[in-house]
Structure 1
Amino acid sequence: MLRILPGVLAMAAVVVASNILVQFLFGQWLTWGAFTYPLAFLVTDVMNRVYGPAAARRVVAAGFAVGVACSLIGTQIMGEFGPLVTLRIALGSGLAFLTAQLLDVAIFDRLREGAWWRAPLASTLVGSTVDTAIFFTIAFAAPLAFIEPANDVSWANEALPLLGAGPVVPLWVSLAVADWGVKLTLALLALIPFRALTARMV
């Protein structure tokens, strides 16, 4: 356990920072949390490369536990429109994190024998896509209103041009696409620290 402690601490820091920064807007479609959360995939991939999939899954489990704690705390903090974390957001966040990270671990392990960049890039791209789809759908899609009937997400379903210029879609779709774009960009940029960290640790 001691050998993966740096990974556990790094994952916990990413999760806590993202839960705080998601409260602050960055432009019209993003929050600051969009720029820190994708680092969770970097932490998972480094642990996977250096210590293997079992160790990476333990780091993911630790991150999930921290995320649940953050959600529980968030439900007790009242914002302008109610609790900072609603049931739908907590459920979407937890399921998205756990599903995407474990998928990342599995894909990385399957591709680990290829070129050094293939496993982290492919696993992060797939994981990020699944993460975005699960979170935004559960948290904001109108057909899932039955999950938390008292939570009014009509604002997220306002029909607007995609990212202000495309076809008309619910607002939450634009938020999801913007978030996904940041994740994909950071997946590419993260190859640099991934290479440096794994070379140093191995």
Structure 2
Amino acid sequence: MTRSYLPGILAMAATVLASNILVQFLFGQWLTWGAFTYPIAFLVTDLMNRLYGAQAARKVVLAGFVTGVICSLIGTQVILQGDGYSYPAVTLRVAIASGAAFLAAQLMDVAIFDKLRGGAWWRAPLASTLVGSSLDTAIFFSVAFSGAFTFLEPGNDVSWANETLPLLGMGPIVPLWVSLGLADWLVKLSLALLALVPFRMIVSKAVAARSLA
């Protein structure tokens, strides 16, 4: 059965790797391209949970976490050049925030999905992804950029992320990182709804294949 987990493990690792690369490239003012690939991780987790159970889903989550840690370790050693200054591609705070957010959110997703698996086909993947995505966004952006977590890496200047601006350019005045987090969260929610389509198709196809085996 472990061999059956391999596609899920590879898909999760590829998603995490791609997201770690694409997060370096901006998409508009509030997002990066990684915002559009990272939510696929929730789809992979939910598919494994539905087809093979919670234990299999947790193994896939662990594979994604290990991949993320490796990417972060490499990123801390990559030095980028700015306008007269240099900086690491991944700071310690971002690495901690990324790992903590991924692990907490994905395990929450697994637990909620498992609890709701007996209901309507869409309820477990939708509810688990919505809650998991919200937790992921809250942990990552607060730990990575909020002034409250400066103690994690005192030498990392995140004053730029705490500059106050209108929320998404048109709302109340908030720190920049709040707008970044909200934009990311809205993308996750939208993709959670869209992900129901491939989820339904893949599960139906897998169930049909099993019945013929």
Taking structure 1 as the reference length, what is the TM-score of the superposition?
0.99
In structure 2, C-alpha distance between the alignment counterparts of 1:130 and 1:143, rounded to whole Å:
18
- Unaligned 5+ runs, structure 1: none
Write the deviation string for residues 141-200 of structure 1: whole angstroms up to 9, x where unpaired: 011111100000000000000000000000000000000000000000000000001111
**What does 1:182-201 align with in structure 2 at a 5 Å threshold?**
182-201=187-206
Corresponding residue of 1:38: 39
Tell me how far 1:201 sits from its aligned partner. Answer: 1.4
Cα distance in structure 2, aligned partners of 1:106 and 1:25: 33
C-alpha displacement at 1:94, in angstroms?
0.1
Equivalent-residue separation in structure 2 for 1:106 and 1:6 (angstroms): 21
Q: Aligned partners of 1:99, 1:41: CA distance in 2, in Å? A: 12
Is it true that 1:99 corresponds to 2:104 in the alignment? yes
**What CA distance in whole angstroms lies between the structure 2 residues aligned with 1:103 and 1:146?**
27
Q: Kindly state the Cα deviation for residue 70 of structure 1 after the two structures are TM-superposed.
A: 0.2
- For residues 141 and 3 of structure 1, what CA distance do their matches in structure 2 show? 41
Identity of aligned residues (%): 72
Amino acid of the structure 1 residue aligned with 2:116: L
Runs of 4 or more off by more than 3 Å in structure 1? none
Q: Any residues of structure 2 matched to 1:138-177 within 5 Å, and which?
A: 138-177=143-182
Aligned length: 202
Q: Distance in 1 between matches of 2:39 and 2:133?
A: 8
Structure with bigger gyration radius:
2
Q: Does 1:82 align with 2:83?
A: no
Letter in 2 for 1:29: W
Question: Could you state the TM-score of these two structures normalised by the residue count of structure 2?
Answer: 0.94
Structure 2 portions without partners, runs of 5+: 208-213
Output the aligned Cα RMSD. 0.5
Residue in structure 1 matched with residue 210 of structure 2 by the alignment:
none
Aligned to 1:11: 12
SS of the residue 2:10 aligns to: helix
